[in-house]
Amino acid sequence: MFLVLLRRLLPVAVLLFIAVYIREPAASLSPVYQQLLDWAPYVTLGIAMLLCINYNRARLFAVSLVLIITFFFIQTELQTSLNEPRALFIYTSISLLLPLMLFLFFFLPERGLRNRYGLLIISIVPLLLLVMFFVFKILPEVSIVTNINNYFHVRPFDNYLLSLNVTIFCLLVFVTGIYLLGKSNDEYVAALLSALVFSFVTLAYFSLQRISVVMLSFAGVSMIVSLLRGAHDMAYRDDLTGLLGRRALNERLKGLGKRYVLAMADVDHFKNFNDTHGHDVGDDVLKMVARHIDAVKGGGTAYRYGGEEFCIVFSGKDIEYSKPFLEAVRTDIEAYRMELRDSKHRSKATEEAKRRRGRRSKARSGKTVSVTISIGVAAPIEKRVIVDDVLKAADKALYKAKQNGRNCLAIA
């Protein structure tokens, strides 16, 4: 989980560091450049919105739109003291509604932008604006100021404007996002987290010069990075296991040097396991095996080759070096006990298939199973220097491991 969080959040941390570093120099620019800088959030967030349209992402489109509206309010309504009731109300509303919306988006599934569901997601934005408008129009200013001071008192510390209650709420949203990111390894969850982080810094240290321009500009950059990384994942990563896929493997094989090791791994008796326990449990097995293979040490990189087959590449290594790390993966998978799903959690299609096959469909809560893998290993030698030949040799070695009784490693 730590590596997942590191991979997804490292770009956000780097961009945040750069934004903090350049904030002060940005505040000392000449008036001409200051005016140009004021357009930066609109540009970066606008590009993010265009990418959302291209990649069909409703949640991030809505978030980008909200951040643009937030910056517009900052430029037009919040260039005054927060002692003014209108400014205080707008600032407090943004600080409450923005993390609330992000919290909601953590749990709403992504179903695309160009459909009714996508329009419903986007309609949340004008709905929130209408709520703000009617609350401000209906409630007396005295009542608004009194309630804000009672529950969301701004500036609890010097140079820190967010109320303690809002700060706690943002922290809870952040922890929720971290948990969901570690569980799902979803780049778009990381994008929502980045929006939360940059908007939080903007609102918390709102009194600093040019903080909103710099932070919301980099929020747009972070969204762009996440959208591009998400598109890369769709092209190069396997959707079920999260491992790099066949396309990524083919590109990697083209760039290998003269010294490398290829290992082909296959889940033993997977077809029988699928027929017995159902495809949902079979998918769980593939995910479990993928997690262990992805954790291979020694510099190996794991790929899903197809079906229940996986490939591990050790670049610049030999078989003697790589073998202990492959054996460690094999024994870890052999020792792992996986609890079967309760039948209540299985899909209707799986249950119907079991009924047609005449098998019983009893709950299996608490029951565990173990699976094993067989591994074939090959490296280039004098008579096979072409990478395709090495891959075929690894596949033949895998077949040899199967013939040797499975749950073992064979070398070509």
Domains of the chain in start order, with CATH, are 2-235 (no CATH), 246-411 (3.30.70.270)
Tokens 């350049």 belong to 22
β-strands 373-378, 338-339 pairing? unpaired
Distance in angstroms (rounded) separating the CA atoms of residues 378 and 376: 7
Q: Which pLDDT belongs to residue 363?
A: 46
Which pLDDT score is estimated for 250?
Answer: 94
Q: DSSP string of 72-96?
A: HHHHHHSSS-TTSHHHHHHHHHHHH
pLDDT value, residue 355? 47
* Spatial separation of the C-alpha atoms in residues 61 and 66, rounded to whole Å: 9
**Across the chain, how many H-helices and E-strands are there?**
16, 7
Phi-psi region of 201 (alpha: psi -120 to 50; beta: other; left: phi over 0): alpha
pLDDT digits (tens, 9 = 90+) for 337-391: 988 766 554 445 444 444 444 444 444 456 888 899 999 999 999 888 899 999 9
pLDDT at 159: 86
CB-count exposure of residue 343 (10 Å: 0-12, 13-18, 19+): middle
Q: What is the mean pLDDT of each run of 10 residues along the chain (412 residues)?
A: 83 95 92 93 97 95 96 94 92 95 93 91 91 89 90 89 95 96 89 96 94 97 95 90 93 92 94 84 92 93 94 95 96 90 52 45 63 95 90 95 94 90
Which pairs with CB-CB distance under 8 Å and at least 24 residues apart come from 244-247?
Answer: 244/301, 244/302, 244/303, 244/304, 245/303, 245/304, 246/303, 246/304, 246/305, 246/306
Q: What is the C-alpha separation between 325 and 263, in angstroms, rounded?
A: 11
Task: Return the amino acid letter for 248.
Answer: A
The confidence score (pLDDT) of residue 353 equals 46
Length of the chain: 412
> Alpha-carbon distance 385 to 387, whole Å?
6
Quote the pLDDT of residue 354.
46
The 10 Å Cβ neighbour count of residue 255 is 8
By the 8 A CB rule, do 244 and 300 touch?
Answer: no
pLDDT for residue 4: 78
224-234 per-position pLDDT tens digit? 999 999 999 88
pLDDT recorded at residue 367: 80
